[in-house]
A and B are shown apart, each in its own frame.
Chain A
Amino acid sequence: MPSRLLPRLNLPGLLTLVIVVLAWELAIRGGSVQYEYLPAPSAIAVGMAELIRSGQLAADTLHTLRSVLLGWTAAMVIGVTLGLWLGSSPLVRRYSLATIEMLRPMPGIAFVPVALLLFGFSLETELMVIILPALWPVLINTMGGVMGIHARLFEVGRTFRLPRGEIIRKLLLPAALPAILVGARISMTLALVLAVVAEMVGNPNGLGYAIVREQQALQPEKMFADVVAIGVLGIVLNSALVSAVAAFFPAASGRLREAG
């Protein structure tokens, strides 16, 4: 499953992007779309250059990157642990699955006032808004992964008289890995979205706040430059994750074959 949406030197892909950008530029230059709020790509590029020169963009990006990584790591640790637990124990699943299904659709943004009360306008508030929703894809996928291959693996484990900790470490985790990695990827994207939302309402820092700031300062070019920066950050994070998996996955799949 090492999906590579971004192979090296992707000419058709670049061409598609160029066409979209050109169409946008022409629509504005030609006058068919005329709004203060919607600047042409060329104007956004100028705004981007200014933000880079002043060092503002680097500072904002760094803050958002740090929040995303912190929140995502926490969501992964909690999600994988709980997912393994739920996946391997029918009893625990029976007594908590409905609770999870109840909590999952609750919007993280609704907890902002409570988070603000507990932590104020701060990184903690941002992390709370990130971790709570980013947890679920990892948890659900890990659980699903463990449940999907569970029965047979346990027989193998029992045949080799492995202790339970070993079964989890050597059998369950590697076997559930493909599913966990899909969850990790969705969760990473979600963490970035949530970080931006949290920065727009709860923590005046980073790229999310930069969007609000530039908007209030009547600088739509810079605002869109921040949006583009978020997109680029998302792509970088995602391809970093995908290549890390590609480097790491063969071993995991090898173990998978041994176990199966």
Chain B
Amino acid sequence: MYRRQIAIGALAAFAAAALAVSFTTTAVAQKKLTPVRAAYVPVATWLPAWVAKDKGLFEKHGLDVTLTPTQNLSLLPGTVGKQFEFAASTPPDLIKAAAGGLDVVATAGQALETKHNQAMQLIVRKDSGIKGPQDLKGKAIAAPTLGAVMHVATLYWLKKNGVDPNSIRGVEVPFPNMGDQLKAGNVDAVEALVPFTFVLLAQGNVSLGDPMMAVGDEVLFPFWISSGAWARANRPVIKTWIDSLTEAKAWMDANPKETRDILAKYSRLPPAVVQKVPFPTYSFTIKPEQLGVWVDVLNELGQLSAPVDKAKLVVTAP
């Protein structure tokens, strides 16, 4: 009596499985060059990789690089070793992923936040009456991603200045919307990044400074991660990756005008903004100490679920 029904059920399950299997990806064509797949988010920080790709510098070093834009850095640690060899990341993302048991490591540097070249600003309305960290107690702060590097830095800065980070109400606002949210009074302060800081300051808002400086000067900001297993087996490839980016940086210094054209092509920002975007302080090597600073910050804020050994966070060029 029920055998037929079970057969129908099995058929349905089979149909579902067949559908899932039939959507398989096409294999990547193999060449003499070492194929490397890298993921980034379309912001100016990753410019050297775009330049290296556009100017054939990767190929010159024996790499066949595919660059894929993605929406959000925070999901990338789960994709290295499978879909990507290199992925863009930031210190808290990598450290939390490692604490969560993922086999991910930092393989190459990208940019540093320094006293003389600050990419981040914490910005408030001019009429808000907020003059410093102590005025932010209990306020709403807009972060691009809660739990990510800029919000961690802000919370740490508040804590160092005697303000309880738990009193802060954090909401997520994409950079381009921060100005409107500040204006509408929905948030009291925004964690902004260049070039968005220019727009915000030009609208008459004021900056409370760069919270990242509370973590340190020349502090590690964005960098490249890979899967641990892949990185340990492919140190020479990591070296050519770093060499390509270093050469791209030299090319950028020599060709400022064409560099802006490449920036416009990949970021699709309006021309006026493209001309104004300042470049970060690039540094393509990476050391465990640079991540150790962030491990301490996360520990201090109680954001780590398991102890993390900074020495195991980095596998880079020999």
Where the two chains meet, the residues of A that have a C-beta atom closer than 8 Å to any C-beta of B are: 35-38, 70, 74, 77-78, 81-82, 84-85, 88-89, 91-92, 112-113, 116-117, 120-124, 127-128, 131, 164-165, 200-202, 204, 209, 212-220
Q: Is the interface of A mostly helix, strand, loop or mixed?
A: helix
- B37 — nearest CB in chain A belongs to which residue? A120
Taking CB atoms, residues of chain A closer than 8 Å to B83 are: 120-122
A123–B75 Cα distance when bound, in Å, is 16
A37–B83 Cα distance when bound, in Å, is 34
Give the shortest distance, in Å, between A170 (CB) and chain B (any CB): 16
B5 lies within 8 A of A85 (CB): yes
A91–B6 Cα distance when bound, in Å, is 11
A113–B41 Cα distance when bound, in Å, is 17
- A120 — nearest CB in chain B belongs to which residue? B83
Within 8 Å by CB of A82, from B9, B177, B267, lies B9
Within 8 Å by CB of B15, from A37, A81, A217, lies A81
A158–B4 Cα distance when bound, in Å, is 17
Of residues 1 to 57 in B, which have CB atoms within 8 Å of A's CB atoms?
Answer: 2, 4-5, 8-9, 11-12, 15-16, 19-20, 23, 25, 39, 41-43
Taking CB atoms, residues of chain A closer than 8 Å to B176 are: 36-37, 215-216, 218, 220
Interface membership of B135, Cβ < 8 A = no
Taking CB atoms, residues of chain A closer than 8 Å to B75 are: 112-113, 116, 201-202
Taking CB atoms, residues of chain B closer than 8 Å to A112 are: 75
Where the two chains meet, the residues of B that have a C-beta atom closer than 8 Å to any C-beta of A are: 2, 4-5, 8-9, 11-12, 15-16, 19-20, 23, 25, 39, 41-43, 68-72, 75, 78-79, 82-84, 174-177, 179-180, 183-184, 267-270, 273
* Cross-chain pairs A/B with CB under 8 angstroms, 19 sampled: A35-B183, A38-B180, A70-B23, A77-B19, A81-B12, A89-B5, A92-B5, A113-B78, A116-B75, A116-B78, A117-B78, A121-B70, A122-B25, A201-B71, A209-B71, A212-B71, A213-B268, A214-B268, A217-B42
Taking CB atoms, residues of chain B closer than 8 Å to A85 are: 5, 8-9, 12
Taking CB atoms, residues of chain B closer than 8 Å to A201 are: 71-72, 75
Within 8 Å by CB of A36, from B5, B70, B180, B268, lies B180
Give the shortest distance, in Å, between A200 (CB) and chain B (any CB): 6
A213–B39 Cα distance when bound, in Å, is 15
B70 lies within 8 A of A216 (CB): no
Within 8 Å by CB of B273, from A84, A131, A218, lies A218
Taking CB atoms, residues of chain B closer than 8 Å to A117 are: 78-79, 82
- A84 — nearest CB in chain B belongs to which residue? B8
Taking CB atoms, residues of chain A closer than 8 Å to B25 are: 122, 124
